[in-house]
Amino acid sequence: MKRILVTGGAGYIGSHTLVELAEAGYDFVVVDNLCNSNKESLHRVAKIIGREVPFFKVDIRDKDGLSKVLDEYSCDACIHFAGLKAVGESVAKPYEYYENNIGGTLVLIDVLKQHNCKNIIFSSSATVYGNPAVIPITEECPKGKCTNPYGQTKSMLEEIFMDIQKADPQWNIVLLRYFNPIGAHKSGTIGENPNGIPNNLMPYITQVAVGKRKELGVFGNDYDTPDGTGVRDYIHVVDLAKGHVCALHVLQNGCGLSIYNLGTGRGYSVLDVINAFVKVNGVDVPYSIKPRREGDIATCYSDPTKAERELGWKAQFGIEDMCRDAWLFQKNNPEGY
Ligand code: NAD
Ligand code: UD1
């Protein structure tokens, strides 16, 4: 495999994956409608990898636009990051989420098929496990009830991909279920750059640390966890990005349909993350305990051994690396890109 179509490549995980793809010797072409990102991320990637990033501002729902890109740049596989991802917004705007995430992916699948590119890696999420039936979560853990339209789009798209691969075994499809990606490239030049008030823990912490927000609200300290706060499997975004490169190798070998958890297998509580952040960075993160956030679960962490066994992939970075790198990006880019 030589060239990869990367949808949503200007975003947080996409931009980090471009760096790892380049490092592994792949060519790529990026399509993104920039609805939740900025072209500057691609300029920064270009600086890191020492060459320009071929980019088209195209919406994946635009069939002709996508087709033109693939006519010009024939691709062997697609890594599909493009999608809307804000849980709260998805509750308020379900139609937009189904139309963009599911509608967009259906158009993408059609265009890929027409260009005889039947290899795809899809960004799924641990959210498909709902309130997990077993911890640590293996890929065999039954999928659970998603409490919001965002999660539903991931779960439904997984089913769609399974049906498509069953009907046409020429497709090779890898569903990657990400746990909680945080951190940034070690250069501190690319990272997570949320619009408005961050929904997720780490960008909120870094914005408090840099003085953009007064204090962090810790959503509940009465869960059935060691310190009462929610426990998650945080994974360094660079480890996650490398997981995609490993997944390309199994696609290439004709994997049919495969599912992998990408996590570290370790759970950290909200207070663990705050304490690690304060310790490695020597900055203050004022916080106060708030009520639980609706839809949250107590504990979620992966069993990542299938990915290690079959992809030869294992997360290398620890929680302190994640906190250090997230802070470096925020400190260097207090206003984002
Ligand atoms: P992101 O918002 O930074 O990146 C997504 C990119 O897709 C953005 O650049 C956005 O502009 C683009 N996009 C959205 N709709 C599009 C469309 N119709 N056409 C073209 N481009 C479009 O998000 P991210 O954190 O990098 O996430 C990447 C993928 O991973 C998403 O599918 C997300 O749901 C999934 N995921 C993310 C997390 C996480 O915690 N960040 C966890 C699990 C799964
Ligand atoms: C959230 C989404 C999930 C999505 C994932 C990655 C919800 C209910 N779930 O997961 O669908 O796949 O992000 O994008 O939104 N926390 C605080 N204060 C904050 C923010 C978070 O205490 O300001 C706590 C949360 O209660 C949780 C932990 O920090 O215990 C992690 O939260 P977050 O980063 O939002 O990730 P998830 O809830 O795991």
Q: What pLDDT, in 10s, does the model give residues 299-312?
A: 999 999 999 999 99
Q: What are the angstrom distances between the C-alpha of 284 and each of 108, 191, 192, 208? A: 45, 21, 20, 8
**Does residue 181 carry a pLDDT above 90?**
yes
Tell me, what's the pLDDT at 186? 98
Atom 38 (ligand 2) nearest CA: 296
| Average pLDDT over all residues of the chain | 97
User: Does residue 154 register a pLDDT over 80?
Assistant: yes
Mean pLDDT, range 283-298, rounded to an integer? 96
Band the pLDDT of 177: cuts 50, 70, 90: very high
Which residue, among 11, 315, 45, has the nearest Cα to 192 in the 3D structure?
A: 11
Protein residues whose CB sits closer than 6 Å to any atom of ligand 2:
85, 87, 125, 127, 150-151, 180, 199-201, 204, 216-219, 230, 232, 270, 293, 295-296
Position 36 scores a pLDDT of: 97
- Residues 200-244: pLDDT tens digits? 999 999 999 999 999 999 999 999 999 999 999 999 999 999 999
pLDDT category at 155 given cuts 50, 70, 90 is very high
Output the CA torsion sign for 302, 308, 312, 317: positive
Q: Return the percentage of the chain with pLDDT > 70, whole number.
A: 100
The pLDDT of residue 184 is: 98
Ligand nearest to the CA of 302: 2
* pLDDT of the residue at 191: 98
**Nearest ligand to residue 149 Cα:** 2
Catalytic residue among 129, 150, 223, 260: 150
For 64-92, write each residue's pLDDT tens digit. Answer: 999 999 999 999 999 999 999 999 999 99
Could you tell me the distance, in angstroms and rounded to a whole number, from the CA of residue 18 to the centre of ligand 1? 14
**pLDDT greater at residue 293 or residue 1:** 293
How does residue 62 score in pLDDT terms, banded at 50, 70 and 90? Answer: very high
158 pLDDT above the threshold of 80: yes
From 173, 181, 126, select the one nearest 154 (Cα to Cα).
126
Looking at residue 173, its pLDDT comes to: 98
- Active site annotation includes 150: yes
CA distance linking residue 59 with residue 303, whole number of Å: 35
Which protein residue has the closest C-alpha to ligand 2 atom 21? 201
Q: Which ligand is nearest to the CA of 296?
A: 2
Instruction: Name the token pair of 104.
Output: 């967009």
Measured from the Cα of 216, ligand 2's closest atom is: 23
Q: How does 215-242 read in b/e, with b if 16+ C-beta sit within 10 Å?
A: ebebbbbebebeebbbbbbbbbbbbbbb
Average pLDDT for 112-119: 98
Ligand 1 atom at minimal distance to the Cα of residue 41: 9
Strand partners, 259: 175
Confidence of residue 147 (pLDDT cuts 50, 70, 90): confident
Q: Is residue 168 scored above 80 in pLDDT?
A: yes
Which protein residue has the closest C-alpha to ligand 1 atom 35?
A: 123
Does the pTM surpass 0.85? The reply is: yes
Ligand 1: nearest atom to the Cα of 154: 34
Q: Which residues line ligand 1 (CB under 6 A)?
A: 8, 10-14, 32-37, 59-61, 81-85, 100, 104, 123, 125, 178, 180-181
Residue 1 has pLDDT above 80, yes or no: no
By DSSP bridging, strand 172-178 and strand 234-236 are unpaired
